């Protein structure tokens, strides 16, 4: 009798205690399994999962855990690597590959045909691999998105798959896409690129390694941004932006990215040659064709040659011009 009284007292005490002590992990990857009276009706998938006593940990052959929230919908044909975490209400389609140690947060949609490499973070509400915004696109086409390793793709980013049959939208390694960024179909983003909040990249835009795109910038389809270029926020561009420059406003160049060149470890000789090519293209009395012809006869190293080659291969809209009055006489 004494034991029964003790148990009843303990039960009464438990009922009187608040539930706020539950760990954040429990709240994120499974909760208690008890529905609150104020919760909305769950989907058939949710209740089926509850009846089957959902396991928060699934194991690959290596016996390393994959954490999948019971409300997430993962197609059986998706290939999920080890140590992957998939958050609440996320939808993973078929023919999707997610590399090891990646985290997919809540309410993410990963459409069929998306490959995500290792150690990526996909933020809440991101949508990867949805159909391109292209009037010529046919839903029957097999197109793809390929994302490399160690990228951070924050909340509500959208990345569209390719448009033409078999084409791919490509994201490299170690990139940081801030919340709300949009990457259009067939874009190619290099490595170590930072794309700030609410940037809009039209279809077929190419971004070179180490570029920094300021917040709310808009980039016209088919344009290119060179290596280590930096753009001012709230700017708009329809012409190509050469490597190593600072671009701002509407299609204007303001000088060289001096700080970026130093931080990237370019030698003094390379920086001097880049400055010489910049002056030849932008500050001489020669037109672009004449400047390129003169540059071809000069003994520049690889960095300066990259600048010249970019200008020579610019798209039909050409490169952004130099802003009149810009202070470009900066020692680098």
Question: To which H or E segment does residue 207 belong?
Answer: strand 206-207
Residue 101 has pLDDT above 60, yes or no: yes
Question: What is the predicted pLDDT for the residue at 65?
Answer: 84
Q: How far apart are CA 92 and CA 112, in angstroms?
A: 8
How many other C-beta atoms are found inside a 10 Å radius of the C-beta of residue 332?
A: 18
pLDDT over threshold 60, residue 315: yes
Does position 8 have pLDDT exceeding 80, yes or no? no
**Distance between CA atoms of 204 and 201, rounded to whole angstroms?**
8
The residue among 260, 246, 243 whose CA lies nearest residue 310 is 243
Question: Which distant-in-sequence residues (6+ apart) come within 8 Å of 9 by Cβ?
Answer: none
Q: For residue 3, name the pLDDT band (cuts at 50, 70, 90).
A: very low
CA distance 82 to 277: 48
Q: Which residue has the higher pLDDT, 267 or 65?
A: 267
Q: Which residue has the higher pLDDT, 235 or 62?
A: 235
Ordered structural domains, the chain, with CATH: 52-222 (2.160.10.10)
pLDDT at 328 (0 to 100): 60
pLDDT at 150: 99
pLDDT tens per residue, range 44-59: 444 444 444 344 455 5
**Helix 268-282, helix 302-312: angle, nearest 10:** 20
Output the pLDDT for position 64: 66
User: What pLDDT band is residue 324 in, cutting at 50, 70 and 90?
Assistant: confident
Question: pLDDT band at 146, cuts 50/70/90?
Answer: very high
pLDDT in tens, 220-273: 999 999 999 999 999 999 999 999 999 999 999 999 999 999 999 999 999 999
Q: What secondary structure letter does DSSP report for 321?
A: P
Report which secondary-structure segment, H or E, holds 219. Answer: strand 218-219
């Amino acid at each position: 009798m004494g034991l029964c009284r003790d148990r009843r007292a303990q039960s009464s005490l438990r009922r009187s205690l608040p539930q706020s002590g539950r760990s954040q992990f429990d709240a994120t990857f499974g909760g208690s399994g008890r529905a609150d009276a104020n919760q909305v009706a769950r989907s058939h998938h949710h209740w089926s999962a509850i009846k089957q006593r959902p396991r928060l940990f699934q194991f690959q052959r290596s016996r390393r855990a994959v954490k999948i929230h019971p409300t997430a919908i993962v197609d059986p044909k998706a290939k999920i690597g080890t140590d992957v975490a998939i958050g609440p209400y996320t939808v993973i389609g078929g023919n999707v590959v997610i590399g090891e140690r990646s985290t997919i947060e809540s309410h993410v949609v990963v459409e069929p045909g998306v490959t995500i490499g290792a150690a990526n973070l996909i933020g809440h509400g991101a949508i990867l691999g949805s159909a391109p915004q292209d009037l010529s696109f046919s839903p029957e086409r097999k197109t793809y998105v390929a994302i490399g390793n160690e990228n951070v793709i924050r909340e509500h980013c959208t990345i569209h798959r390719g448009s033409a049959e078999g084409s791919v939208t490509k994201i490299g390694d170690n990139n940081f896409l801030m919340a709300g960024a949009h990457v259009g179909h067939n874009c190619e983003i290099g490595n170590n690129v930072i794309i700030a909040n609410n940037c809009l990249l039209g279809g077929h835009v190419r971004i070179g390694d180490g570029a920094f795109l300021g917040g709310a910038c808009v980039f016209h389809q088919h344009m290119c941004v060179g290596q280590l270029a930096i753009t001012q926020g709230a700017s708009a561009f329809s012409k190509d932006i050469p490597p190593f420059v600072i671009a701002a406003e509407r299609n204007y160049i303001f000088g060289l990215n001096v700080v970026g060149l130093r931080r990237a470890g370019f030698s003094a000789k390379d920086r001097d040659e880049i400055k010489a090519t910049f002056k030849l293209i932008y500050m001489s009395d020669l037109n672009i064709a004449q400047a390129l012809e003169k540059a071809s006869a000069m003994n520049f190293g690889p960095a300066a040659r990259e600048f010249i080659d970019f200008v020579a291969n610019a798209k039909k809209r050409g490169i952004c011009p130099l802003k009149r009055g810009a202070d470009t006489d900066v020692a680098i």
